[in-house]
């Protein structure tokens, strides 16, 4: 499986590649987009540290990636764009192609169809914002021109395996390490624009029941949701699921962290690299899982818990709200 890491600047690029990243992805916000950023985000990041600073720096990053015989994907993954923005987007992508990008990560089918006709050589990735939760949805996007799919965070490994079996010609990537969210990203309409970088899913709130009585299932969901404000979603992991993701046929492990410090990105890459190697050498899953949970504790300084487990079907422990905050 390939290791896919975010990159935000030239200074960290070589270190990420040397740590073991096979592919890098990142965003660049051009100056002309400032007047349109409130209408729709260009690439789902609203703070400058998650954007490559200039076109010149992006060009140098791409050149360095290619020198290491790796690939670079540009993020263009807002769920939609307005008609007014499309001419700007076409001009923007034309410039990015001239810099040598290998692929685009996007979610808007209309933009995909437009760009596919214009730049046939690019590899197009369907972002998790496209919300492709079944094989039929994946087939639809492949008909529009997608070759790779970033599977939504909330799918189980069994869900992923089922999709991969039904669309074997499509390469599917899955998330790993940091940034887990309680919401379905492709359906979420929260705005992530706080200068303090405190996102809506981290803010305590209560769900009010309009009916006289909540069903047991709803009560459980309400209880679970209330626990998220006491969870640190930046502790998202998933290391214990790597053997299962491999067996499911997942193509790449996509690490989260645009805007994160370089040291954290490097640590995520090396952890993934080490556990991929361990996956190939070990057949004892219980021992593998023990090592993964130990690695989680060392990486984040906290005990693993179900809320931050990317693949909770493999989590071996009590649920978060039974354990309390860690």
Residue 202 in domain: no
The phi and psi torsions of 203 (rounded to 5 degrees) equal -90, 130
The parent domain of residue 22 ranges over: 2-180+236-321
Residue 172 in domain: yes
Residue 145 in domain: yes
The reported pLDDT for the residue numbered 317 is: 66
Q: Are 311 and 240 in contact (CB under 8 A)?
A: yes
- Give the pLDDT band (50/70/90) at residue 326: very low
- Give the pLDDT band (50/70/90) at residue 83: confident
| Three-class secondary structure of residue 254 per DSSP | strand
Q: Which of 80-94, 127-141, 193-207 has the highest mean pLDDT?
A: 127-141
| Three-class secondary structure of residue 165 per DSSP | helix
Q: How many residues does the chain have?
A: 326
Taken in order 308, 313, 319, 321, the sign of the CA dihedral is: positive
Per-residue CA distances from 113 to 3, 55, 124 (Å): 28, 25, 10
d(C-alpha 127, C-alpha 322), whole Å = 34
- Give the pLDDT band (50/70/90) at residue 319: low
Least confident piece of the model among 31-40, 120-129, 229-238, 288-297: 31-40
The reported pLDDT for the residue numbered 322 is: 43
Residue 191 in domain: no
Strand blocks (E) in 188-297: 252-255
Residue 228 in domain: no
| pLDDT tens-digit readout, 215-224 | 888 888 787 7
Residues of the chain with pLDDT > 90, as a percent, come to 64
User: What is the CATH classification number for the domain harbouring 153?
Assistant: 3.20.20.70
Residue 231 in domain: no
Least confident piece of the model among 194-198, 202-206, 316-320: 316-320
d(C-alpha 41, C-alpha 283), whole Å = 44
Residue 245 in domain: yes
Residue 298 in domain: yes
Helix (H) or strand (E) holding 265: helix 262-281
23-26/71-76 β-pairing: parallel
User: How many domains does the chain divide into?
Assistant: 1
């Amino acid at each position: 499986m390939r290791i896919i890491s975010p990159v935000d600047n030239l200074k960290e690029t070589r270190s990420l590649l040397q740590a073991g990243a096979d592919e890098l992805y990142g965003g660049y916000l051009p100056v002309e987009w400032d007047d349109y950023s409130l209408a729709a985000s260009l690439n789902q990041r609203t703070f400058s540290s998650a954007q490559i600073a200039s076109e010149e720096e992006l060009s140098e990053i791409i050149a360095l990636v290619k020198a290491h015989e790796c690939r670079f994907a540009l993020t263009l993954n807002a769920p939609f764009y307005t008609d007014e923005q499309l001419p700007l987007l076409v001009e923007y992508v034309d410039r990015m192609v001239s810099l040598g990008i290998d692929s685009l990560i996007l979610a808007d089918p209309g933009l995909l169809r437009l760009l596919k006709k214009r730049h046939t050589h690019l590899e197009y990735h369907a972002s998790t914002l496209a919300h492709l939760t079944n094989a039929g949805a994946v087939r639809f996007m492949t008909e529009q021109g997608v070759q790779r799919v970033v599977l939504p965070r909330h799918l189980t490994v069994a869900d992923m395996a089922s999709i991969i079996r039904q669309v074997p010609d499509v390469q599917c990537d899955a998330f790993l390490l940091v940034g887990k969210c309680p919401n379905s990203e492709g359906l979420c309409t929260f705005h992530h624009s706080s200068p303090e970088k405190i996102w809506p899913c981290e803010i305590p709130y209560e769900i009010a029941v309009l009916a006289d009585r909540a069903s047991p299932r709803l009560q459980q969901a309400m209880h679970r949701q209330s626990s998220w404000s006491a969870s640190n979603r930046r502790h998202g992991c998933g290391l214990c699921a790597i053997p299962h993701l491999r067996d499911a046929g997942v193509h790449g492990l996509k690490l989260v962290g645009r805007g994160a410090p370089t040291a954290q990105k490097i640590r995520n890459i090396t952890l993934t690299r080490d556990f991929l190697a361990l996956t190939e050498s070990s057949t004892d899953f219980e021992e593998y899982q023990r090592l993964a949970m130990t690695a989680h504790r060392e990486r984040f300084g906290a005990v693993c818990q179900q809320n931050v487990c990317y693949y909770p079907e493999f989590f071996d422990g009590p649920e978060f709200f039974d354990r309390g905050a860690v």
